[in-house]
Structure 1
Amino acid sequence: MTIKAITFDFWKTLYQDNNGKIRHSVRVEAFARHTGRTEDEVNAASQLVFQEFERVHKQEQI
């Protein structure tokens, strides 16, 4: 059998993000600017999305 692909787990196991806060801020600012939402609204939505991701990951995939 020939290897066709190799994947890496980048969820803080092999790689530690060192500028995540900066990238998050840039994304929040851009999203707020393009949607007309406040940065607080975008941050709140982002937190809800991450919480749901964590719930699904822990309860449905592990």
Structure 2
Amino acid sequence: MSGENGDGAIEGDVVDDTDVAGETRLARRWRSLDRGWQALCLGLAIVAIHLVVYPV
């Protein structure tokens, strides 16, 4: 096997997307978080939206 994915990246290589045009500061901060913190923030946002839509 050649070790290449469909996008041309070799497995194990880190892809650096810091030069993406139109990127916002929020998007850069979101990507810099660990997946655990992303999951926590997403979960808290879902709970907050649920409380707004379905008040207790």
The answer to whether the superposition gives a TM-score over 0.5 is: no
Q: TM-score, normalised by structure 2?
A: 0.37
Q: TM-score, normalised by structure 1?
A: 0.34
Name the one with the larger helix percent.
Answer: 1
Could you say which structure has the larger radius of gyration?
2
